[in-house]
Amino acid sequence: MASLANEIAGAGGQVIYASTDVRRREDLVALVGLAKERFGRLDVLISNAGVSPISPLDDLRVDEWDAIIDTNIRGLLYGIAAALPLFRTQQTGHFVNVASTAAHRIVPNMAVYAAAKSAVRAISEGLRQEAGDRLRVTVISPGFIKTDLASSINDRALREQIEQGMQKIAISPDAIAQTIAFAISQPAEVDVGEVIVRPTAQS
């Protein structure tokens, strides 16, 4: 994080960062508070943290199911709980929540992960409907992206399968960053609801 912060500062940007575990509600409260303290406001909260220890349900990896739920669902909700009151006070704010193409196409071994990402979409849509005309909510659903997400998969065969798929067709994380920047850059009255971003080679 420090190297990225230095890069941003070196390019003339203003930056501050804090180590944050989205599974801890107090960490999200502190992060939002830090933004308000340093910059006087919070314009956008991007919820991107996620884990994907996929496995067949028959393996009964309940601890891994818990990890998916705690990070991918609770982490999202904790971020909303931390930022929503501030957004209401400001009368402006933008939630950008990262789901997955797994929420659109269910495949074997990904039931719990897909359920969590489907929850991201459902929560985001409910939030959008409750947000009124001052707040914006965007869902970004990436497909195969060049990340280290597969490192959380403990099933060796499945991890190798996902890694091979990434090596063959995954696209740069820049595609997601540019999509988020597009959604944020729209006029205040324009709400980009959801964008699916995936490799052209992905089925």
For 97-129, letters b (16+ CB in 10 Å) and e give bbbbbbbbeeeebbbbbbbbbbbbbebbeebbe
pLDDT at 150: 87
Count of alpha carbons within 13 angstroms of residue 41, beta-carbon side? 10
| Dihedral sign for Cα atoms in the order 95, 98, 101, 105 | negative
pLDDT at 10: 87
Q: What is the pLDDT of residues 114-138, one digit of tens each?
A: 999 999 999 999 999 999 999 999 9
Q: 179: how many CB neighbours lie within 10 A of its CB? A: 19
113 is catalytic: yes
Give the residue from 197, 180, 159, 171 showing the smallest Cα distance to 52.
159
Mean pLDDT in the chain? 95
Q: What is the pLDDT of residues 76-90, one digit of tens each?
A: 999 999 999 999 999
Q: How far apart are CA 129 and CA 152, in angstroms?
A: 33
Burial class (CB in 10 A: 0-12, 13-18, 19+), 51: buried
Which tokens belong to 168?
Answer: 């063959």
The contacts of residue 3 (CB under 8 Å, 6+ apart) are none
pLDDT at 112: 98
pLDDT at 62: 98
pLDDT at 6: 86
Overall pTM surpassing 0.95 (yes/no): no
Low-confidence ranges of the chain (pLDDT < 50): none
- Of the candidates 113, 117, 144, 170, the residue annotated as catalytic is 113
Fold of 42-197: Rossmann fold (3.40.50)
